[in-house]
């Protein structure tokens, strides 16, 4: 019997998976604020350094949310965590309109980062609960398609709104967050839960300490995430510095989302045949080439070519990485495993805008060379699978 096609595999997914895809699309379409937060603050008279601090505060909120969101997802359920995340984010987006002092903006950004990220470990854990290991690469690729379909249209819409007033960015972000909260409340199941004793982080940290493959994926992810977050921070500065508008920048990052929507799911068929390590190495090398070459480009066509190259790197690696984490996670620790995975992205979001801003101010070329170096280092990390140690064999006892 022939294996099912991609479309047949997707048609067989449970209804809550499709509901989660729909809510994710809506939420990401409405992510108007964060890609333009640096430009918004600079337009209000704050410096590049201060804009970087605010973005770093947003990332610091993500940092905390990775732990809190993973715990809440395992202890109280996936659905309550998603609902809490979305409704509280809607409130904080509106709070941005009420604060004027720089440090007040930093506090609101940190809280928005906290609430906005709480849903991510819960969503990934719920997808893992509802699917089998053989389905997960494609399921997470489809999840990213929903994510990036919203991303494809959202920034371009936000860039158009920003030409009239940044106020509409915050209002639109709040509305779409609240709508996702409503969808989650009425359409999603609780998912797998741990009892109170099992839901803490102490036991999970012990398991993660023995899981060498998990650690390797996290470290490579941290390196590559520092690179990727330049797309929503310093890439906008680079493009406006060389004469392009905020709307053009929005179009560029929307093209990234369009490519993911059109190409990522078919690429999973290739990546699953090639193998995990080889695909990750190739993808990270492409990412380094794409970001590293941006510093050489002053034309729109050149920047688009760079974007295409690093987006292919992203499409090859992103669904494989999260599916690998899902497969490694014991059933009663999926929220915390996904929280730890999110923690690496949150760490990068905390420091990447600050580091990128400092390098960009020193010399733009230094930023893009550093991006290439970090991506190539991530490829080296994934190039050799570690031998299975005696400690890591004990991980089966926790499953």
Label each residue of 220-240 as H, E or C: HHHHHHHHHCCCCCHHHHHHH
pLDDT over 70 percentage in the chain: 89
Are 77 and 184 in contact by the 8 Å Cβ rule? The answer is no
Cα 106 from Cα 96, distance rounded (Å): 10
Cα 251 from Cα 245, distance rounded (Å): 10
Give whichever of 117-126, 160-169, 221-230, 239-248 has the largest mean pLDDT: 221-230
What pLDDT is recorded for position 281? 93
Burial class, 150, CB count within 10 angstroms (exposed 0-12 / middle 13-18 / buried 19+): buried
What pLDDT is recorded for position 201? 67
Confidence of residue 192 (pLDDT cuts 50, 70, 90): low
Higher pLDDT, 372 or 65: 372
Confidence of residue 189 (pLDDT cuts 50, 70, 90): confident
Write down the mean pLDDT value for the chain. Answer: 82
What pLDDT is recorded for position 77? 85
Separation in Å, CA 201 to CA 63, 84, 118, 214, 292: 15, 21, 16, 16, 38
Cα 246 from Cα 249, distance rounded (Å): 5
The mean pLDDT value for 72-83 works out to: 88
- Half-sphere exposure of residue 254, counting CA atoms within 13 Å on the CB side? 21
Separation in Å, CA 206 to CA 200, 210, 362: 11, 7, 42
What pLDDT is recorded for position 398? 46
Give the pLDDT confidence of 277-294 residue by residue, as tens digits: 889 999 999 999 999 998
The mean pLDDT value for 313-337 works out to: 85
Residue spans of the domains in the chain: they are: 13-398
Higher pLDDT, 333 or 11: 333
Give the pLDDT confidence of 254-274 residue by residue, as tens digits: 788 788 888 888 888 777 778
Q: Point out the least confidently predicted range of 80-84, 96-100, 347-351.
A: 347-351
Higher pLDDT, 239 or 200: 239
Number of alpha helices (DSSP H) and beta strands (DSSP E) in the chain: 18, 0
What pLDDT is recorded for position 249? 86
Place of tokens 């797309």: 231
Write down the pTM of the prediction. 0.73
Return the CATH class of domain 13-398.
mainly alpha
Cα-based torsion angle of the residue sequence 240, 299, 258, 355 in order, rounded to the nearest 10 degrees: -50
Cα 215 from Cα 238, distance rounded (Å): 33
Q: Point out the least confidently predicted range of 106-110, 111-115, 202-206, 230-234.
A: 202-206
The mean pLDDT value for 334-348 works out to: 82
CA angle 187, 137, 226 (to 5 degrees): 95
Cα 121 from Cα 124, distance rounded (Å): 5
Helix (H, G, I), strand (E, B) or coil at 386: coil
């Amino acid at each position: 019997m022939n294996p099912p096609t991609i479309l047949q595999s997707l048609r067989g997914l449970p209804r809550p998976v499709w509901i989660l895809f729909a809510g994710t699309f809506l939420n990401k379409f409405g992510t108007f604020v964060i890609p333009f937060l640096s430009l918004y603050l600079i337009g209000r008279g704050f410096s590049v350094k201060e804009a970087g601090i605010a973005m770093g505060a947003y990332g610091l909120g993500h940092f905390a949310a990775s732990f809190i969101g993973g715990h809440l997802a395992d202890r109280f359920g996936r659905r309550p965590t998603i609902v809490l995340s979305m409704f509280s984010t809607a409130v904080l987006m509106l709070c941005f309109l009420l604060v004027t002092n720089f440090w007040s903006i930093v506090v609101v950004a940190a809280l928005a980062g906290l609430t906005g990220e709480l849903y991510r470990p819960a969503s990934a854990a719920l997808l893992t609960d509802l699917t089998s290991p053989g389905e997960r690469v494609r399921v997470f690729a489809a999840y990213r398609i929903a994510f990036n379909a919203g991303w494809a249209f959202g920034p371009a819409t936000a860039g158009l709104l920003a030409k009239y007033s940044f106020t509409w960015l915050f209002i639109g972000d709040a509305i779409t967050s609240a709508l996702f909260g409503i969808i989650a409340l009425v359409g999603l199941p609780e998912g797998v839960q741990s009892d109170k004793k099992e839901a803490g982080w102490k036991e999970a940290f012990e398991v993660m300490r023995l899981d060498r493959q998990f650690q390797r994926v996290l470290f490579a992810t941290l390196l590559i995430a520092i690179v990727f977050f330049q797309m929503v921070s310093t890439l906008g500065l680079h493009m406006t510095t060389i004469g392009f508008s905020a709307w053009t920048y929005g179009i560029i990052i929307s093209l990234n989302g369009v490519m993911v929507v059109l190409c990522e799911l078919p690429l999973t068929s290739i990546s699953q045949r090639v193998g995990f390590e080889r695909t990750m190495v190739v993808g990270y090398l492409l990412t380094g080439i794409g970001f590293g070459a941006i510093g050489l480009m002053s034309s729109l066509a050149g920047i688009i070519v760079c974007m295409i190259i690093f987006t292919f790197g992203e499409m090859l690696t992103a669904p494989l990485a999260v599916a690998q984490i899902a497969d490694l996670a014991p059933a009663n620790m999926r929220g915390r495993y996904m929280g730890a995975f999110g923690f690496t992205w949150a760490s990068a979001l905390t420091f990447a805008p600050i580091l990128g801003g400092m390098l960009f101010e020193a010399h733009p070329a230094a930023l893009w060379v550093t991006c290439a170096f970090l991506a190539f280092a991530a490829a080296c990390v994934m190039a050799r699978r570690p031998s299975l140690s005696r400690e890591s064999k004990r991980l089966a006892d926790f499953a």
